[in-house]
Structures are given as C-alpha cells and as structure tokens.
Amino acid sequence: MKGLKGKNALVTGASSGIGRAIAIRLAQEGVNVAINYRSSPEDAADTAEKMEQACGEIKGCGVKDLLVQGDVSKEDDVSQIMDTVINELGGLDILINNAGIQMESAAHETKIESFDKVISVNLRGAYICAREAIKHFLDGNKKGVIINISSVHEIIPRPCYVSYSVSKGGMGNLTKTLALEYASKGIRVNGIGPGATITPINEAWINDPEEKANVESHIPMGRAGTSEEMAAAVAFLASEEADYITGQTLFIDGGLTLYHDFSKPWSA
Ligand code: NAD
C-alpha cells in the first residue's frame, strides 16, 4: 500500500493474535517492525520468523525486525521500548497500540485491583505509548500515525466485563482527542474495532464447536473474523491511502455493530 515501504512501526503485544498478524502484514508491505512482548521472547521470535517467511515471498521486501520486551502499563518500560526502537530502527513512524487483556466478573464483584489492571494495560498503556510516540513525531517534525486496536465494545456495552468495556470506550475518546489535538501537525490517530476474532484471548470458545456456533449465531455475517482481516485494515489506515482519515474507529465485525437482533422488525 502507498507510503508504507521503508517506514518503521512498533506493534505492542505482537507475540500473538491480532498483533502478530499486524506485524506480518506490515512486513509484507515493506515496513520494519518492532515486536513488543511482555513475557514470552519465544513467541515474539516466532512472530519475527513468520514475518520473515511472509516477507520472503515478496520480492525486495527486506525488512528489519526487532524484539522489544516491556510492559506497556509501566511508564519506565515504555520509555525504554521507545528508546530502543528509535536507536535500533532509526526512528518511529507508526505506532500500533494492540496490547490488551480482559477479565470476567460481575461488576458488583469485580476487585478494584483487577479493574485497575485492565484499565492500566488497555487504556493507560495505549496513552503512554501514544504520548511517547507523539513527542518523537513532534521532535522530528514528521507525519506520524497511531492506530489503536479497540473493540466493538468501544460502543457496545459488555456485561461481566465492565473494565474491558470502559477501557475500550475510553480508547474511542483517546483516538478522537489525540486526532483533534495533533491533526494540524500531520499526526493521524485512528482505531479499528474488531468483532469476535479467532485469537488466544478467546480461547474460552474458539476450540469449542458448540460455544463457537453460539458466538457466531450473534454475528450477522455468521462467522468470527480472522486476525489477518484486522491486519488488512490496519495496513490501510497506516498507509498514505488513508492520508485524509483521522479520529475514526473502523469496526471490522461482520456486522456485529448493526445489532443482529434487529435484523427482523419486532415493533411496528
Ligand atoms: P491476544 O491475547 O492474542 O493478544 C494480546 C497481546 O497483548 C498478547 O500478546 C499479550 O501478551 C499482550 N499483552 C498483554 N498485556 C501486556 C502488557 N502489559 N504489555 C505488553 N503486552 C501485553 O489477543 P488478541 O485478540 O490478539 O488481542 C489484541 C487486541 O485486540 C487487544 O487489545 C484486544 O482487546 C483486541 N480485540 C480482540 C478481539 C478478539 O475477539 N480477539 C476483539 C476486539 C478487540
């Protein structure tokens, strides 16, 4: 896609799922990718290997990869991640805020520690990474791109996952606020809102045919999405094809945000 070749990206939480697919897709587009991981260097190395394999199929791809350990919810870790990326890759052009967690419990029984944990990774972590990336973009007077991996739960309430719902709702506003604040500086901030996607975060249902069928029965298009489908939209939003798009969350959800229960009229 236009304008991606030779750029440098940081993908947080890129050792699995959607983050891994984004790293691979960006590499296929000629982007050098820093793979952030929190705890598994083996999984991060696996992402790098898959990036190289995918890239090998494309003539003249030749991108660099870099593994960077760090917990996005910790300010010091994020500073270190950014310094490493900037020193090793020579700068940053694209930040993908992908790292995320979820915890299930009824809202009235949720422990404050678990609420804080989810917010600190999904929302605070995305903000800290964005803040550091923006400082770098402004210092270099360069057009930068930030893409937040949000969720359909940016706009659909999610009972028994109050911290997750709130974190993604907040992420929607983070996207819009940063987009407005830095639009005049050439910095674009957008998000994607995945629907139910086949990744490890959904291990509770992806390998259980009955549970999977139940999830898919709520999706107008009748199936869960793939990480690759999410990554394709991220590549577009990061590219110059999307140069006039900022402050938007693109929902990629097989129609989930169209509310399946309203597919047939039930009121006059
Ligand atoms: P996943 O569990 O495979 O990926 C999450 C990644 O974040 C993991 O690699 C994990 O190690 C990393 N991570 C967690 N805490 C971290 C921290 N403190 N610092 C750095 N990395 C950390 O699941 P996924 O589905 O690929 O999730 C990726 C993103 O997509 C998340 O933000 C998630 O909320 C979002 N999302 C997923 C779905 C879905 O159905 N899979 C739907 C909507 C949104």
- Candidate from 12, 154, 199, 223 with most ligand 1 atoms within 8 A of CB, to mutate: 199
CB of 202 shorter than 6 A to ligand 1: yes
Cβ atoms of residues 220 and 254 within 8 Å: yes
**Per-residue pLDDT averaged across 242-249, rounded?**
98
Instruction: Answer yes or no: is 259 within a domain.
Output: no
Mean pLDDT of the chain: 96
* Longest CA–CA separation in the chain, Å: 63
Q: What is the pLDDT of residues 52-81, one digit of tens each?
A: 998 876 655 768 999 999 999 999 999 999
Instruction: Answer yes or no: is 261 within a domain.
Output: no
pLDDT of residue 261: 85
Instruction: Answer yes or no: is 169 within a domain.
Output: yes
- Cα of 14 from ligand 1 centre, angstroms: 8
Structure tokens at 24: 């691979």
pLDDT cut 90: percent of the chain above it = 91
Distance CA 132, CA 47 (A): 24
Other Cβ atoms closer than 10 A to 232: 17
> Is 18's pLDDT higher than 70?
yes
- Cα of 3 from ligand 1 centre, angstroms: 27
Which CATH number is 22's domain given? 3.40.50.720
* Full domain range(s) for residue 120: 8-253
**Per-residue pLDDT averaged across 153-181, rounded?**
98
> Is 229's pLDDT higher than 70?
yes
**Per-residue pLDDT averaged across 145-171, rounded?**
98
How many domains are there within the chain? Answer: 1
Instruction: Answer yes or no: is 2 within a domain.
Output: no
Instruction: Answer yes or no: is 185 within a domain.
Output: yes
127 is catalytic: no
Atom of ligand 1 nearest to the CA of 224: 40
17-28 vs 227-238: helix crossing angle, rounded to 10:
50
Q: What is the pLDDT of residues 80-132, one digit of tens each?
A: 999 999 999 999 999 999 999 999 999 999 999 999 999 999 999 999 999 99
In the block, which residue shows the tokens 């964005």?
130
pLDDT of residue 60: 56
pLDDT of residue 62: 67
Choose the catalytic residue: 37, 127, 161, 164. Answer: 164
Other Cβ atoms closer than 10 A to 196: 21
Q: What is the pLDDT of residues 207-216, one digit of tens each?
A: 999 999 999 9
